[in-house]
Amino acid sequence: MENIEILNGILNNIREGTNTLIWKKNTLPFFDRINEKYRYSVYINEMAPIKTKIIDIIIKVSQLKNRKNIKTKSELNKNTIVQLKEILKKTIQKDKLVIVFNRFENITKSVAQFWLSVSGNKFIVFVGSIWGIYKKEAHGFHKTFILVNKEEKENYGTEMNVTIPFIFIIGAFIFVILFKLGLTTSRAFMSALIMAILIVRSLMFFIDK
């Protein structure tokens, strides 16, 4: 899927108030175009730590609104995250806020619960990327998103279904060679097994990137 198609999908979702996920693509290259359409857009890279990120958003939106007497990070840090959520609500009022981030798969249970509560505000929309399997605790938050390049994820899954068995065959072949080279002892068996596992994991890591 071309980037222009992805961008159009993102903008359509924002217009409709729907959260967007992009499969294996950094959101930063899309941010400037999003910001052209929606002035109150903030890029935070990742969603944690919660308090730091929501403070950054409050300050950025306040600056974009040309507010006077904007509170500093240290002043805002005295508030709880629940209080900060209310401050954010008062700051954006009825203007649409677009929060752009990466790595949905890194979101933990507490982070997911907090941002899910924030997404309940109809004036706040999220645009994020996902590069792998997300944690089951984040499923509720994940359900609020639409994946714009779904076919790319499906193609990736097909490729992995073919690649993974091939990697395990390579791992087994490496194990047999190392085991034979190390003679038939228990120590040689364990050494060969560990090396084969490490090689297989390394191959899967690089393929997943």
Q: How far apart are CA 162 and CA 51, in angstroms?
A: 42
pLDDT of 71 > 70? The answer is yes
- The CATH number covering residue 36 comes to 3.40.50.300
pLDDT digits (tens, 9 = 90+) for 19-43: 999 999 999 999 999 999 999 999 9
Query: Could you say which DSSP state residue 106 is in?
Result: G
As a whole-number percent, the residues of the chain with pLDDT over 70 amount to 73
Question: Which two tokens mark 55?
Answer: 């403070």
Residues 182 and 199 in one domain: yes
Domain boundaries, position 76: 3-148
Residues 85 and 129 in one domain: yes
Full-model pTM: 0.76
Q: How far apart are CA 57 and CA 80, in angstroms?
A: 15
pLDDT digits (tens, 9 = 90+) for 158-208: 434 444 555 556 666 666 665 565 545 556 566 666 766 777 666 555 555
Query: Could you say which DSSP state residue 136 is in?
Result: G
Looking at the structure of the chain, the number of domains it has is 2
pLDDT at 200: 61
Residues 19 and 58 in one domain: yes
Residues 166 and 184 in one domain: yes
pLDDT at 163: 46
Instruction: Identify the domain boundary among 128, 148, 168.
Output: 148
Confidence category of residue 62, pLDDT binned at 50, 70, 90: very high
Residue 18: φ, ψ to 5°: -105, 135
Residues 113 and 167 in one domain: no
Residues 59 and 103 in one domain: yes
pLDDT at 77: 97
Question: Which two tokens mark 200?
Answer: 């297989």
Inter-residue contact 20 to 146 (CB < 8 Å): yes
